[in-house]
């Protein structure tokens, strides 16, 4: 039942554009004692259907600049390959610390720097 609740909450957050990984990854690690590498890979797989639904909605509402999206897709694929290779070389403990630092930095940015 707990995994169901975490999944629902993660999906809602993801659909709002916040990113379900901010809920799903810590929940998998803290509540289910999952390895950091596994938690991040599960998050990426769970992200695919959410991203497809969001993309279809935004295309339908004419909120996508196709030329810009193609540039981002190409460079994003390169970054994803480099990042996944790098993550496979890093220990789970160090990867967890990097992820925690990233979440902390994003939280500070949202509180202090983002225009309202």
Number of domains in the chain: 1
Encode pLDDT of 31-60 as tens digits.
999 998 899 889 889 888 888 888 888 899
Encode pLDDT of 71-80 as tens digits.
999 999 999 9
**Alpha-carbon distances, residue 48 vs 19, 22, 33, 79, 109 (angstroms):** 12, 16, 23, 17, 26
Q: Which residues span the domain enclosing 85?
A: 2-112
Using a pLDDT cut of 70, give the percent of the chain over it.
Answer: 97
Q: Is the dihedral of CA 114, 102, 39, 84 positive or negative?
A: positive
**Alpha-carbon distances, residue 66 vs 7, 11, 38, 61 (angstroms):** 31, 26, 33, 13
């Amino acid at each position: 039942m707990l995994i169901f609740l975490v999944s629902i909450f993660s999906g809602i957050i993801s659909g709002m554009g916040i990113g379900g990984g901010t809920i799903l990854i810590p929940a998998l690690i803290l509540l289910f004692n999952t390895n950091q590498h596994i938690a991040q890979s599960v998050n990426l797989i769970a992200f695919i259907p959410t991203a497809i639904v969001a993309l279809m909605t935004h295309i339908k509402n004419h909120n996508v600049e196709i030329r810009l999206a193609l540039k981002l897709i190409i460079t994003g694929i390169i970054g994803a390959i480099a990042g996944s290779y790098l993550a496979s070389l890093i220990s789970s403990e160090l990867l967890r610390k990097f992820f925690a630092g990233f979440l902390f930095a994003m939280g500070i940015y949202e509180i202090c720097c983002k225009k309202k």
